């Protein structure tokens, strides 16, 4: 009897967990934890903190996976409204660190409200398109674009270009999967290209310098170009098979900046080499492929656009981070999913995977 009770409890716990997604995510977390240990071997408190972050992330993933998409959809409007209110509070009362006002102090801790919008914006837009699914017209896409531009502008104003790009991409993917015309997308690209000179004048000096040093990092080797130069040296020095765990000279002689957060790929590349990078890329491809499969098989418009947005947002994280670390994109504050040290981004990404699990497992329950 007791064994039957335990069996029922276990089945209830794992009923809404997608095994392939869970295994891929867990593998990335393990790889990330081992790499974080190497990058912060002289600061064990960060290692323990990352273990706690991963535990919280897995709990958040499980909790979100238990909610059917219909219930997730109800969080769209209130979460979006709360996120905007917090962004406005950051503008007036936020903590300023290194010239950026991105955090709110709660006394016992501080939060970065922009992270909430990474989930709130696609939820809000997916809810909006689902509500008007029967007859989508140009005005619906225009309103959706406005709903996206407001948080994008508030986040970019902080300034936090990396998070603004991620929020903007997540919202754009929802609009794309909702069926926006290719002609409209082409027109927006043309407008963006025409507005590029105006946007350039609005960028902060350090942002313009990052873009210019991307072309030739050697023009400022100890300033804006330092990150790219050191990370590419670390990647190249790893060779085919790497120098081995805890044996990276660029890492342990502290040449790589932000080596446990945004530039953790440089640490991994130096220690694991080309072979390790190939395996890491395979894991990310499997994760993204599984997400696209879930999106393709989704049974409602909300589920389809939400799964597509979450999956392509993961792709954006990976592409932008790997691009900036390898020197083909400007340096922006984008972590490598499930590998970079940090709690807020890890929980946000875990919630995204939980949404994919919810969409897949609850659809299966309805069909059977």
**Averaged pLDDT, 230-243:** 90
When pLDDT is cut at 50, 70 and 90, the band that residue 367 belongs to is very low
| DSSP letter (8 states) at residue 96 | E
**Which pLDDT belongs to residue 9?**
57
Per-residue model confidence (pLDDT) at position 108: 67
Residue spans of the domains in the chain: they are 17-367
Confidence of residue 205 (pLDDT cuts 50, 70, 90): confident
Where residue 96 falls among pLDDT bands split at 50, 70, 90?
A: confident
Percent of the chain with pLDDT over 90: 48
Is the pLDDT higher at 236 or at 205?
Answer: 236
Q: Which two tokens stand for residue 92?
A: 């007036």
pLDDT, average across residues 84-100: 83
The predicted model gives 279-306 an average pLDDT of 94
- Model's pTM, two decimal places? 0.89
Q: What's the pLDDT band for 47 if we cut at 50, 70, 90?
A: confident
Average confidence (pLDDT) over 126-135 = 89
pLDDT digits (tens, 9 = 90+) for 49-64: 899 999 999 999 999 9
Report the mean per-residue pLDDT for the chain. 86
pLDDT at 357: 95
Specify the long-range contacts of residues 113-116, CB closer than 8 Å, at least 24 apart. 113/83, 113/86, 113/87, 113/89, 114/87, 114/90, 114/151, 114/155, 114/158, 114/160, 114/163, 114/164, 114/167, 115/163, 115/344, 115/345, 115/348, 116/79, 116/82, 116/83, 116/86
Structure tokens at 42: 């002289």
Q: What pLDDT band is residue 366 in, cutting at 50, 70 and 90?
A: very low
**Number of alpha carbons in the 13 Å side-chain half-sphere of residue 311:** 24
What's the confidence (pLDDT) of residue 4? 67
- Cα separation, 297 vs 90, in Å, equals 39
114 near 67, Cβ under 8 Å? no
pLDDT confidence bin for 65, thresholds 50/70/90: very high
With bands split at pLDDT 50, 70 and 90, how would you rate the model's confidence at 216? low
Per-residue pLDDT at 12:
62
Which of 334, 343, 365, 49 is closest to 169 using CA atoms?
334
> Quick one: CA dihedral 300, 306, 310, 316, positive or negative?
positive
Q: What was the pLDDT predicted at 1?
A: 61
What pLDDT, on a 0 to 100 scale, did the predictor assign at position 333? 79
How confident is the model over 296-354, as pLDDT tens digits? Answer: 999 899 999 999 999 999 999 999 999 999 888 888 878 999 999 988 889 999 999 99
The highest-confidence range among 39-43, 68-72, 102-106, 287-291, by mean pLDDT, is 287-291
Mean pLDDT confidence for 265-273: 94
Share above pLDDT 70 across residues of the chain, in percent, rounded to a whole number: 88
């Amino acid at each position: 009897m007791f064994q039957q009770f335990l069996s029922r409890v276990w089945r209830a716990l794992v009923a809404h967990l997608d095994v392939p997604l869970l295994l891929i995510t867990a593998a990335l977390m393990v790889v990330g934890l081992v790499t974080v240990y190497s990058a912060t071997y002289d600061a064990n408190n960060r290692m323990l903190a990352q273990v706690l972050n991963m535990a919280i992330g897995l709990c958040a993933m499980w909790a979100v996976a238990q909610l059917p998409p219909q219930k997730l959809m109800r969080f769209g409007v209130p979460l979006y409204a709360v996120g905007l209110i917090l962004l406005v509070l950051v503008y007036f009362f936020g903590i300023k660190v290194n010239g950026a006002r991105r955090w709110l102090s709660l006394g016992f801790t501080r939060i970065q409200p922009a992270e909430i919008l990474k989930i709130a914006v696609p939820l809000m837009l997916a809810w909006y398109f689902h509500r008007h699914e029967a007859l989508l017209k140009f005005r619906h896409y225009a309103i959706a674009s406005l709903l996206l531009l407001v948080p994008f502008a508030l986040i970019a104003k902080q300034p936090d270009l990396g998070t603004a790009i991620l929020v903007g991409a997540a919202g754009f993917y929802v609009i794309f999967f909702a069926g926006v015309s290719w002609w409209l997308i082409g027109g927006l690209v043309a407008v963006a290209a025409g507005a590029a000179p105006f946007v350039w004048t609005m960028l902060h000096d350090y942002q313009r310098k990052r873009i210019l040093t991307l072309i030739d990092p050697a023009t400022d080797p100890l300033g804006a170009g330092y990150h790219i130069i050191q990370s590419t040296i670390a990647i190249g020095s790893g060779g085919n098979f790497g120098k081995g765990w805890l044996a990276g000279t660029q890492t342990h002689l502290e040449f790589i900046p932000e080596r446990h957060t945004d530039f953790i790929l440089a640490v991994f590349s130096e220690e694991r080499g080309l072979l390790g990078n190939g395996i890491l890329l395979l894991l990310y491809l499997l994760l993204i492929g599984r997400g696209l499969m879930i999106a393709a098989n989704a049974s409602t418009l909300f589920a389809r656009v939400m799964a597509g947005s979450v999956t392509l947002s993961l792709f954006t994280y990976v592409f932008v981070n790997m691009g900036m670390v390898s020197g083909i994109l400007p340096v922006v504050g984008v972590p490598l999913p499930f590998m970079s040290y940090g709690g807020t981004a890890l929980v946000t990404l875990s919630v995204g995977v939980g949404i994919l699990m919810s969409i897949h497992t609850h659809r299966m329950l309805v069909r059977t």
